[in-house]
């Protein structure tokens, strides 16, 4: 907006204001009604859904589902989606959100046209609608991924009895530990943000798997606590992962 446009706006605004109504009581009345609706909705939600607590924190057992509150779903989903673009994870996690935030922050500095009517601002209209659709879609798909706790894989052929017991124990530990919140194993779990674990046994040696679990790269949480508090469980987990050599054709579901 140049100086003339600014003055023009201020003039027009002064007129509109002059033709308007006093803040009290006209605007205050609407605000008060809205405030009462807001309070009523909050109380109703509280009465209907309460504030449940899950089980107490226990850094050593691993029955958890790493899920944030719903309004962070879109961030987590973004992470998942972006993972498929290779080498993008770092950018996607906070890089893309940071860029979006900077874009939002500076909006009035780069959008300086004097036009305010949205129907005459096609770029802003498109960008606004695209943003809403993206966030709604990501929030929705973040909401429906469900809590991943189940894992039943076909037991690989040729295991000894002890190995088979470890395999079955490992399935449970993985299910309990929420790995499937970030990893896909066969037909179970989410495709990202972590890599596919279906054939992790062919990629990493047990030692490599163990050190990944203890010192993972973010955003994967560290399972060093588990290794300390219950080394047997940790060991079974590592053994189990190193038995995963499936290729996609060996899946029956």
Span 51-70, contacts to ligand HEC by CB under 6 A: 66
Query: Contact between 218 and another protein (CB under 8 A)?
Result: yes
Give the DSSP H or E segment for 188.
strand 188-189
Q: Measuring CA to CA, how many Å separate 29 from each of 20, 36, 181? A: 15, 11, 47
Cis ω on the peptide bond leading into residue 193 (within 30° of 0)?
yes
Residue 51 contact among another protein, ligand HEC, none, beta carbon within 5 to 8 Å by kind: another protein
Q: Is 163 exposed, middle or buried (0-12, 13-18, 19+ CB in 10 A)?
A: middle
- Where in 44-103 is the site for another protein (CB under 8 A)? 45-47, 49-51, 53-59, 63-72, 75, 79, 89-90, 93-95, 98, 101
Tokens of 206: 């047990």
Question: DSSP label at 210?
Answer: H
- List, in order, residues 6 or more apart from 147 with CB less than 8 Å away: 65, 67, 181
Nearer of residues 176 and 235 to another protein, judged by Cβ? 176
Nearer of residues 163 and 212 to ligand HEC, judged by Cβ? 212
- Which of 4, 86, 87, 116 contacts another protein by CB under 8 A? 116
Q: Is 209 exposed, middle or buried (0-12, 13-18, 19+ CB in 10 A)?
A: buried
Only one residue has tokens 């609407």, namely 30
Query: Contact between 118 and another protein (CB under 8 A)?
Result: yes
Residue 105 contact among another protein, ligand HEC, none, beta carbon within 5 to 8 Å by kind: another protein
Query: Contact between 82 and ligand HEC (CB under 6 A)?
Result: no
Residue 86 contact among ligand HEC, another protein, none, beta carbon within 5 to 8 Å by kind: none
Residue 194 contact among another protein, ligand HEC, none, beta carbon within 5 to 8 Å by kind: ligand HEC
- Where in 196-225 is the site for ligand HEC (CB under 6 A)? 197, 200, 203-204, 209, 212-213, 216-217, 219-221, 223
Binding residues for ligand HEC, rule CB under 6 A, total 26
Task: Give the x/- contact pattern for ligand HEC in 228-247, rule: CB under 6 A.
Answer: ---------x---x------
Distance CA 147, CA 53 (A): 17
Are the beta carbons of 207 and 220 closer than 8 angstroms?
Answer: no
Tokens of 154: 């076909």
The residues of the shown chain that bind ligand HEC, judged by CB under 6 A, are 66, 174, 177-179, 181-183, 193-195, 197, 200, 203-204, 209, 212-213, 216-217, 219-221, 223, 237, 241
């Amino acid at each position: 907006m140049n100086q003339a446009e600014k003055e023009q706006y201020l003039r027009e605004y002064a007129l509109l204001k002059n033709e308007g109504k006093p803040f009290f009581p006209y605007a205050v009345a609407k605000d008060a009604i809205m405030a009462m609706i807001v309070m009523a909705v909050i109380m109703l939600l509280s009465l209907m859904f309460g504030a449940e607590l899950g089980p107490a924190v226990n850094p050593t057992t691993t029955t958890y589902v790493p899920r944030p509150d719903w309004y962070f779903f879109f961030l987590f989903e973004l992470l998942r989606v972006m993972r498929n673009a290779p080498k993008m994870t770092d950018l996607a996690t906070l890089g893309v959100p940071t860029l979006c935030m900077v874009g939002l922050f500076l909006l009035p500095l780069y959008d300086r046209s004097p036009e305010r009517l949205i129907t005459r601002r096609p770029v802003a209209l498109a960008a606004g609608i695209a943003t809403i659709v993206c966030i709604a879609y990501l929030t929705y798909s973040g909401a429906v991924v469900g809590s991943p706790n189940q894992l039943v894989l076909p037991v690989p052929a040729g295991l000894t009895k002890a190995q088979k017991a470890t395999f079955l124990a490992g399935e449970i530990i993985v299910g309990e530990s929420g790995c499937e919140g970030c990893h896909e194993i066969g037909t179970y779990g989410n495709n990202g943000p972590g890599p596919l674990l279906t054939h992790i046994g062919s990629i990493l040696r047990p030692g490599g798997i163990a050190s990944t679990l203890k010192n993972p790269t973010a955003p994967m949480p560290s399972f060093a606590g588990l290794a300390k508090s219950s080394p047997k469980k940790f060991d079974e987990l590592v053994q189990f992962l190193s038995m995963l050599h499936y290729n996609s054709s060996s899946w029956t579901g």
